[in-house]
Amino acid sequence: MADEFTVQGHRSGDVGSLSWEGAADAETLARAVSLAADDMILGQQVRRLEVAIPATDTMARRALHLAGFRREGVRRQAQQAADGNYVDVQLYARLATDPVYGPQGFSAVMETVLPKKRLIAHVVLRNEHNQVLLLQTTYKSDWELPGGVVEPDETPRLGAEREVFEELGLELELGSPALVDWMPPSLGWSDALEFIYDAGPTEAEALTGFLLEPREISQAHWVDREELDERVSPLSARRIRLVLDGFTGFTEDGIPLA
């Protein structure tokens, strides 16, 4: 019958894949996917089991989550829907060694499907003239503060210290951030959180002889407050001025909350 629901397992060496045809309710689909996955991995000793589904199929996604599958990536506009539009295809996989049941299994799956935000850390460095240090990079036109993207499992503070050392050869010990900002999507980037640290007035001896990282940093410049609008993005200028004015707290798009 046209509406008969079946799940098929396919194997090539020690790698398998699952697909299904026909209609099923959410409970039936979840149970069928779980049983088929266990059969392929435990019964047929498949090392890796893969599934590709349209990103719009929320019921299939839930069934895969319950069966211990982790999302590994997205193929953009890879499948044509019934209305003629193209939709993304999400790639899921489960390894024979993956924990599936209990809190660890659930958390491991959720780690792959929940939203992730970039975390960025920058540092305001000032000289005796209250000028701010800005870096001219090799990959963009506007200048920016020393710092960069925080690595996984790295605190924002340590990330800022690491980035400053990598970019300038300068060792810093930072404290609490002066400002934490939510950054809206821009220029193809998704939204992010940025921590900005105020290193305070820095001794002149520490501000000479920078060892610039040549792949990313072309020059370092001391910039007056009045020059900020010419050198950095409007968002960056707003935040730097807040730090120079002694603001501490949380902002959204560089604007303090009322």
CA–CA distance from 117 to each of 78, 97, 109, 183 (Å)?
25, 28, 17, 10
Q: Residue 1 pLDDT > 50, yes or no? A: no
Note the residue count of the chain.
258
Residue 145 burial by CB count (10 A; 0-12/13-18/19+): exposed, middle or buried? buried
Contacts of 28 (CB under 8 A, 6+ apart): 5
Q: pLDDT at position 206, please?
A: 63
Q: What is the mean pLDDT of residues 159-183?
A: 96
- φ and ψ of 216, to 5 deg: -115, -30
What's the rounded Cα separation, in Å, for the pair 106 and 99? Answer: 9
Q: What is the mean pLDDT of residues 52-79?
A: 96
pLDDT band per the 50, 70, 90 thresholds, residue 3: low
Q: pLDDT at position 227, please?
A: 96
What's the rounded Cα separation, in Å, for the pair 72 and 74? Answer: 7
Q: Evaluate whether 196 touches 132 at the Cβ level (below 8 Å).
A: no
What's the rounded Cα separation, in Å, for the pair 205 and 197? Answer: 20
What's the rounded Cα separation, in Å, for the pair 111 and 128? Answer: 46
Q: What is the mean pLDDT of residues 240-246?
A: 96
Nearest Cα to 204, choosing from 192, 222, 189, 182?
222
For 70-120, write each residue's pLDDT tens digit.
999 999 999 998 899 999 999 999 999 999 988 899 999 999 999 989 999
Q: pLDDT at position 205, please?
A: 62
With a pLDDT cut of 90, the percent of the chain lying above it is: 82
Q: In what order do the strands lie in the sheet with 6-12?
A: 6-12, 15-21, 48-54, 86-95, 70-80
Q: Which helix (H) or strand (E) holds 124?
A: strand 118-126
